[in-house]
Chain A
Amino acid sequence: MINGYAGTILRVDLSNGVVTKQALPEDLVNDYVGGRGFIAKMLYEELPPDTDPLGEENMVIIATGPMSAHFLPASGKTHFGSKSPATGGYGDSNVGGHFGPALKYAGYDVLILTGKAQQPSYLFIEDETVEIRPADQFWGQGTNTVEKMFKEELGEDFQIITIGPAGEKLVKFACIGHDFGRQAGRTGIAAVFGSKNLKAVAVKGTGSIPVFDIEALYKKGKQAFEHVFNKPGFKGWVPEGTAGITNWVNMVGAFPTRNFQTSYADFHEQINGKAIVEKIKITDKGCFFCPTPCGKYGKAKTTSGSAFVEGPEFESIALLGGNLMLTSIEEVAYANYVCDELGLDSISAGVVVSWVLECYEKGIINATNIGREVKFGDLDSIVYLLNIIAKREGMGDLLAEGVKISSEKLGHDTERFAIQVKGLEWTGYECRNAPGMMLSYMTSDIGAHHARSWVLGHDIAGAGKSVHDLIAGGGETKKLSKAEVRGKSKVVMDSQHLRPLFDVLGICRLQFMEIGFEVEHYEELFYLITGKQRSWQELLQVSEKIWHLTRCINVREVKGYGRNYDYPPRRFYEEPIPDGPNEGNYITKEEIDLMLDEYYEARGWDKNGIPKQETIDRFGLSSLVQSRES
């Protein structure tokens, strides 16, 4: 028994139905702590060489952390990992809701899925009972539809994760749905599920989790919740949730529009958090033990259709709203619903669709290629494209491969504006004048993603100097000066250790990052739960170690991996922003190289971005990893 953990790794081989329950090893717990740590370690150790991401040998690892499901704010997060079909390298994704706690209360810290089921199946887990059951009645159906069917058949107490039709069709940016509107969205792990003939996992757990000092945890947990309630940001943040940042992102010229051609949307007030509250919201919907429910569940009515939907979050507002020029919150929410129900990552789908629309505008794709006229700002076009992608119909079959492969196949210089890194599409921040954020996207381990490192505030603090002077002098212009590109490595690296640490511990980072809940609380809670004194600094070092490990996974899995996989799309270093607060600004190729050189040096990687042996040794990885430095 290990305090804080359920104590068991559940392995299910879908090919032969063999279920193995393995005691959670102490050294895994000590060295890798949980969640993303377990995933990185097990993927490195257990993935067979040259595994096809959509082949039987690929693994899906689902893991919670030591703080998951315990009595503290927002302890409901679950991490997923696999060899990504989108990038061919380390892929992971995170979801809130209630699935991870259910898995832990059922008795499992980790669920590992391998092999391939003979027929469409789902995995049924109720405490000790683990069964592979037929899923014919669910196959082909949307995520919300399927979840409702499961709840009706099995009961409200079951927590469900499910893929949609897109995952079944192996779309490389298919996502896993949970709790009627949450997703493990990125890196196409749902396609791995689909390749295994696995539609869903249904879990119910009625056990307890051992705690080192339950009396003290009970007391401290209550204090922690009350502390969050008393934070000044507490009441103000919840009504709009993550959408509350929309106005600011526009004001600082970092909001993508038209496939990242421009960085300011004059219609942003029609699609911001206030619009959600005023026009569509029904319920503030939250995750397990969360005091600050970020989910905005509502009903959207449009001429293309009506739907109940959780969202849109900021990312969907950026990639489906600004990026696709949908100018009403109802339309953005409806497009979000279509992605959710089909089981498409709304971020990647938004970027693939915006690429198609730009190609169409430029005459590189025409109505015959794509099946009909399509354009920015037209919800029907967008719904049509999402559907052909999910079904792999016509040109949708190519688009389902993601924007990197689509642009390589189509040619005509369309790679220049395929907005992706390593094969993973970019998320909701335009960075041509945000060098730290640009570097964050470039060096994020799974491909272009903001969750690993978010430093836009730092970038803007530096870019505003001339505006500051203007305001002091009474000026009206709100143009940003070019931000300094040097010296960004440290702030990016710190963020790359801090943010993913929450994915290791199995809790949500929002209370800390957005509401100001202090890290000292987490240290004490960690001790009361596990009985282990581990300082926040020590835990950050584990996170830093994992950073090098995921880099090593990519180096091993992706042929020719190195510096050339860390570049942003050419649009970002060839095209100045044409208008808005950042008019004229961009980051040059020389500056991109400068940032990479600085970053690799700080990381202890060689000039090609490969971890050096001395770095691997320094982080205690040498027993696991052999350096492949050039």
Chain B
Amino acid sequence: MKLIAKDEYCSGCRVCQGVCALENFREMNPSKAALSIEGLFPSPGKYRINVCNQCGQCAESCPVGAIHLVNGVYLISKEECTGCMLCVDVCPLQVMISHNSMVTPIKCTLCGECAKLCPREALVLEN
């Protein structure tokens, strides 16, 4: 399973970020989402969606091996994570999110809620 982003449909609404934080934290707080939306304005006048593609570089870089591959998804074990934030630096898409209220960074769990609710069908869950 993969989360595919279709940038050309994105309107910048960030419903994806809203639902991600609600699904994973039950909090009204889009800054806790595991994906980011970047505006490329004024030129070329579009949005870029940054989502985890499960490349695994975070797992490789983790000095304590706290990131595990589970059914095709890389997940952080909160118990093992030391909060060193090396994975945040290493992530090539900058979608390992550090948040000031948490020790452990936030990572996409491939729950698919963003894809279900994107009003623009700009996020798609594919096999």
Contacts and interface: CB of A to CB of B under 8 A. Distances in A.
A and B directly contacting (CB within 8 A): yes
Interface residues of B, number: 32
B11 A290 contact: yes
B28 A283 contact: no
Given A205-B31, A284-B11, A286-B13, A297 B45 contact: yes
A218 interface: yes
A225 B31 contact: no
B99 interface: yes
B113 to A, nearest CB: 8
26 contacts: A70-B28, A98-B14, A144-B42, A181-B41, A206-B31, A209-B29, A214-B28, A218-B23, A218-B26, A222-B117, A225-B15, A225-B117, A282-B46, A283-B47, A286-B11, A286-B13, A289-B15, A289-B18, A290-B11, A290-B13, A290-B119, A291-B15, A293-B12, A297-B41, A308-B41, A308-B43
Interface in B58-110: 99-101
Contacts of B99: 206
A157 interface: yes
Interface string A47-79: 000000000000000000000011100000000
A222 B13 contact: no
Interface in B25-43: 26-32, 36, 38-39, 41-43
B31 A283 contact: no
Interface string A99-114: 0010001000000000
B22 interface: yes
B57 to A, nearest CB: 22
A207 interface: yes
Contacts of B13: 286-291, 293
Nearest to A205: B31
A71 B100 contact: no
Q: Is the interface of B mostly helix, strand, loop or mixed?
A: loop
Interface residues of A, number: 51
B104 to A, nearest CB: 16
Contacts of B22: 71, 214, 218, 221
Nearest to B17: A289
Contact of B45 (A151, A215, A217, A282): A282
B29 A206 contact: yes
B28 A299 contact: no
Contacts of B28: 69-71, 208-211, 214, 217
Interface string A463-486: 000000000000000000000000
Contacts of B14: 98, 288-289
A5 B19 CA distance: 19
Contacts of A35: none
A213 to B, nearest CB: 11
Interface of B: 11-15, 18-19, 22-23, 26-32, 36, 38-39, 41-47, 99-101, 117, 119-120
Contacts of B31: 105, 157, 205-207
Specify which of A205, A207, A211, A217 lies most central, judged by the most chain B CB atoms within 10 Å of its CB. A207
Contacts of A218: 22-23, 26
Nearest to A180: B41
B26 to A, nearest CB: 5
A214 B47 contact: no
A112 to B, nearest CB: 24
A229 B19 CA distance: 16
B26 A180 contact: no
A288 B16 CA distance: 11
B29 A208 contact: yes
A283 B46 contact: yes
A396 interface: no
A308 B29 contact: no
A5 to B, nearest CB: 11
B67 to A, nearest CB: 23
A284 B32 CA distance: 25
A500 interface: no
Residue among B11, B19, B26, B27 with max Cβ neighbours from chain A (10 Å): B11
Contacts of B47: 283
Given A71-B22, A208-B32, 10 more contacts: A127-B100, A206-B100, A207-B31, A211-B28, A215-B26, A217-B28, A282-B44, A282-B46, A286-B12, A286-B13
Nearest to A218: B22
A71 B18 CA distance: 7
A490 interface: no
A428 interface: no
Nearest to B116: A222
Contacts of A226: 117
Contacts of A147: 41
Listed from nearest, the 5 A-B pairs whose CB atoms lie closest are: A291-B119, A293-B11, A286-B11, A180-B41, A308-B42
Nearest to B25: A208
A215 B31 CA distance: 19
A287 B100 CA distance: 26
Contacts of A157: 31
Interface in A208-267: 208-211, 214-215, 217-218, 221-222, 225-226, 228-229
